[in-house]
Structure 1
Amino acid sequence: MSETKGKVIQCKAAVCWEARKPLTIETVEVAPPRGGEVRVRIAYTGICHSDAHILNGCISAKLPVILGHEAAGIVESVGDGVTNFEEGDHVMLMFLPECNQCRCCTSGKTGCCEVFMDKNYANGLLMDGTSRFTIKGKTLYHFFDTSTFSQYTVVPAISLVKINPAAPMEKVCILSCGIATGYGTAVNTAPVTPGSVCAVWGCGCIGLACIMGCKAAGAARIIGIDINPEKIENAKKFGITEGINPLDYEKPINEVLKEMTNGGLDFTFECVGTTKTMEQAFMSLHKGWGKLCVVGLAPDGDTIKVPPFELLYGRSITGALYGDFRRSKQVPDLVNMYMRGEIMLDEFITHTMPLDRINEAFDLMRDGKR
C-alpha cells in the first residue's frame, strides 16, 4: 500500500497565476482522492495549443490554475467506489471523460460524453464542485479535470484509461490529445475514403496526425498547407503528396486548390484554429459531397462565416472531439498499435524537458520549433 494513501502530498507544479505571464514552479498540496476519483503520479506530460490558449488569454479559465491535459502516469491511490483502477496501474489521462452511461456514450455514434458537454469546466473545479489543489492554503484550480503540469494530480476515474504497462509513457502520453484527435478525425469522423483527395491546413502536431490518418485510410492525394516551409518539408514523412505555402500565391488559396484538384477537395481538415482558415477550407471543397472537418480550436467568441447557398450545393461541415475515439475501448488499442509499429509517435516528439523548463517548451512551440 502506498505510504501517501489518504494523506496530502506536497509536490512541484507549474502554476498559471495570470494570462500572458510565464508559468511559475511552485510547491503545491494535492489532497487525497474523494469518491469516484483517482490520484495519479504524472510520469510524462505533453504541451498543447489548448494550454497555450489559456496562457495567451485567448480562452478564459479560472485562475490560478494548473494546466496540462496530455499525460501518462501511475495510479497512487483511489477514492471510494473506484473499482476499475488500483494502485500501480499505468494510465493515460483524458481531457474528454467517458461515463459509458449517457445517451452519447451508449449511442455508438460519437466519441462525445454528456458529462463533458454539460460540465462547466471554466469554474476549474472537480465533479463535486471543489478543488484538490492548494498552495499555502489558497485554492488552485483544475484544467479539464486533468491538470497534468503537476507531479501529482487528482482526476475523476472516468477521465482515466488503463494502458499496457510495457508501453513507454514518455511516448504514449501524447496520445492523450493531439495525435488521437488528428488521426481519429481522419479515420473515424470524416471518414476518409480510399482514393480520395484531401487537404490539411496546419502541419503542426494535430495536422501531422491528421495527415497520418488520411494516409492510413487510403487517400490518393494529401495536400499539406502551412506558411512555415520547414513544417511542410517535415510533413512529407507523415504522408503528404504535395505541400502548399499560401504566401507563395496572390490569389486565394481556395481558388488555387480548386484548380489543382479539378473543382475541389473531397475532404478538408482545419488544424490551425482560425476562422479564416476554416472558411478557406470550406470554400476549397468540391460541390456535391465535399466535407470540412474542423479540428483546430478557435478563440472564444469567434464565428465562421459561410454562405448558406454553398451548403445547398452539398458541402458540409463537422467537427469532432478527440477524433471520435472511444477512450476505454480504443485508446489501449492505439497504444498497442504504436508498440506494433503501426502508427508513428516518436516522430512527433522534438524535445524532452524537465518541468522547470516548461516555459522554454512553450516558447519553442510558439516559434514553430516543436
Structure 2
Amino acid sequence: MQKRFTMTEGNVITCRAAVLWEVGGPFVIENIEIQPPQKNEVRVKIVATGICHSDESVLKGLVGKVKFPLIGGHEGSGIVESVGTDVTAFEKGDHVIPLFLPQCRDCRVCKRPGANICSKFLEIVRRGGEGPSPFSCRGQRLTGGFSTFSEYCVVDQLQLCKINPKAALDKVCLMGCAIPTGYGAAINTAKVQSGSTCAVWGLGALGLAAIMGCKIAGASRIIAIDINANKFSVAKELGATEFINPTEVPDLTAHLLKITGGGVDYTFEAVGAVATMQQAFESTAIGYGVCVIIGVLPHGVPLPILPYNFQMGRTIKGTMFGDFKSQDDVPKLVDEYLDGKIIIDKFITHTLPLEKINEGFELLRQGKSIRTVLTFTST
C-alpha cells in the first residue's frame, strides 16, 4: 500500500477514496490526489462515514445532473488537517462534522427562525459539480461535494461544525444526516405533541430517527410501517408501540383510518416513493392531521395530491435536515447524545473498512442493515 504523507499541511495529499466512475457503480478504491484548502476552505481527515440511502440514489443517477467520475458520501466525521485563508472558526486538530447543508447566518433564510435551507446551499452544490475540484485521479477531475468516502475531503467552512472531542467519531458521523433529519422531522417540522398518535413509513435510519423523535416528544402511540418485520425490534426499542406490514393489509390507508378512529395525528414518510407518500398524507386526521415527507423521490418525479385533501384540513410538509440549523444545532445534538438523550448506537448495525464499501451498499439494498459505518485506517 502506498505510503502516506507524514507532513500534509500545505501539500497535495495522496490518499485512498472510493471512486464511482459511472452510473451504477461499483465503487473502486483508488489512490487520489487532494489539493490544499483554498480561501474559506477546510481540509478534513475523515475518520468514519455512514452509507445513506441518498448515496445509493447518487450511484443510480437519480438525483439530477451529477457528473461522473465522483467521490460520494455526505455523512461523515473527522479531524481538521489544515485550513485555508480567511478561515477563523476552525483550526488543526478540531473534531468536526461536515454538513451537506451550509449555514452562512447572513442570508434571509438563515436569519429567519425555524428556517434552515441556507441560500448558499445550491451555490455550493453547483460549485462542487461544475467548478474547480480539489480531487483528481488518473489525471481526471473528480466531482467533489461532501466526499466523505475519501480519507480526506475539502469543504467550505460554511459546511462544517466543531463538536465535543469526547464524542466517538465512529458514532456521531450519523449526525451528518440520518439522526438530525428524522429526529428533527418529528420535533421541529411536525412539532409532535404529547399524547398524540404517529405513524412512520420506512424503518431505515431516517424513519427510526423519526420514531425516536416522536417518543421524546411524548407521543403515546407510534405505528411503525415496513415490509421488513425484522426491523420492528429496533423500532420498538426506539419507541414504536405497534408494527404493520403493509403487504398483510388490503388497504393500508383505510386500515389506519379505522384503527385510529379517523386518522393519524402525525405521519412521516421515510421511504421515498409516490405510493407511500400518498398513503401517509391520506392517512392523517381530517381537520388537523400533519404529514411530513422525509424520503426523496427520484429527480423530476411528481407527487399527485388531490386538493380536496388539503381542503379537509390536512397539511403536508417537506423537511430537509429536520429543520435544524446545521452549524448551530449539530453540536448541540452531539451533546444530547453524550448526555444520553439521543440514541445513536442502535442505528449502527455494521462497521466495515472503506475497502468493503460495495459490501455495505449490498447490505443496504437487501434490507440487512440500518446504517453501515465505514472506517478509515492509516498506515
TM-score (norm: length of structure 2): 0.94
Tell me the equivalent position of 1:332. Answer: 331
In the alignment, is the contact (CA less than 8 A) between 1:62 and 1:122 conserved in 2? no
Letter in 2 for 1:287: I
Does residue 37 of structure 2 align to residue 33 of structure 1? yes
Secondary structure of the structure 1 residue equivalent to 2:212: helix
Tell me the equivalent position of 1:271. Answer: 270
Deviation at residue 120 of structure 1 after TM alignment: 6.8
How big is each residue's C-alpha offset from its partner over 1:126-170, in whole Å with a ceiling of 9 and x where there is no partner? Answer: 8xx21000113210001xx31000001100000000000111000
Letter in 2 for 1:68: G
Q: Distance in 2 between matches of 1:51 and 1:285?
A: 30
Q: Distance in 2 between matches of 1:57 and 1:324?
A: 26
Tell me the equivalent position of 1:133. Answer: 135
Letter in 2 for 1:348: F
Q: Distance in 1 between matches of 2:263 and 2:67?
A: 43
Q: Structure 1 regions of 5+ residues with no counterpart?
A: none
Aligned residues between the structures: 363
In the alignment, is the contact (CA less than 8 A) between 1:62 and 1:123 conserved in 2? no
In the alignment, is the contact (CA less than 8 A) between 2:290 and 2:317 conserved in 1? yes
Q: How has the CA–CA distance of structure 1 residues 39 and 120 changed in structure 2, closer, same or farther, with 3 Å as cutoff?
A: closer
In the alignment, is the contact (CA less than 8 A) between 1:62 and 1:141 conserved in 2? yes
Q: Distance in 2 between matches of 1:57 and 1:328?
A: 29
Q: Distance in 2 between matches of 1:71 and 1:120?
A: 18
Secondary structure of the structure 2 residue equivalent to 1:119: helix
Seq. identity, %: 50
RMSD, matched Cα? 1.2
Q: Distance in 2 between matches of 1:68 and 1:75?
A: 18
Secondary structure of the structure 2 residue equivalent to 1:353: strand
Tell me the equivalent position of 2:26. Answer: 22
Deviation at residue 329 of structure 1 after TM alignment: 2.0
In the alignment, is the contact (CA less than 8 A) between 2:284 and 2:314 conserved in 1? yes
1:47 to 45, 51, 72: 51
Letter in 2 for 1:200: V
In the alignment, is the contact (CA less than 8 A) between 1:172 and 1:345 conserved in 2? yes
Tell me the equivalent position of 1:102. Answer: 107
Secondary structure of the structure 1 residue equivalent to 2:215: helix
How big is each residue's C-alpha offset from its partner over 1:221-263, in whole Å with a ceiling of 9 and x where there is no partner? Answer: 100000111112321111111110111112x211000000000
Tell me the equivalent position of 1:146. Answer: 146
Q: Structure 2 regions of 5+ residues with no counterpart?
A: 1-5, 370-379
Secondary structure of the structure 1 residue equivalent to 2:349: coil
Q: Distance in 1 between matches of 2:127 and 2:277?
A: 29
Q: Distance in 1 between matches of 2:100 and 2:43?
A: 15
Tell me the equivalent position of 2:198. Answer: 198
Q: Distance in 2 between matches of 1:56 and 1:194?
A: 40
In the alignment, is the contact (CA less than 8 A) between 1:91 and 1:162 conserved in 2? yes
Q: Distance in 2 between matches of 1:335 and 1:81?
A: 27
Deviation at residue 123 of structure 1 after TM alignment: 6.4
The 5 A counterparts of 1:228-307 are 228-250=228-250, 252-307=251-306
Deviation at residue 121 of structure 1 after TM alignment: 2.7
Q: Distance in 2 between matches of 1:234 and 1:173?
A: 20
Q: Distance in 1 between matches of 2:329 and 2:114?
A: 14
Tell me the equivalent position of 2:158. Answer: 158
Letter in 2 for 1:258: L
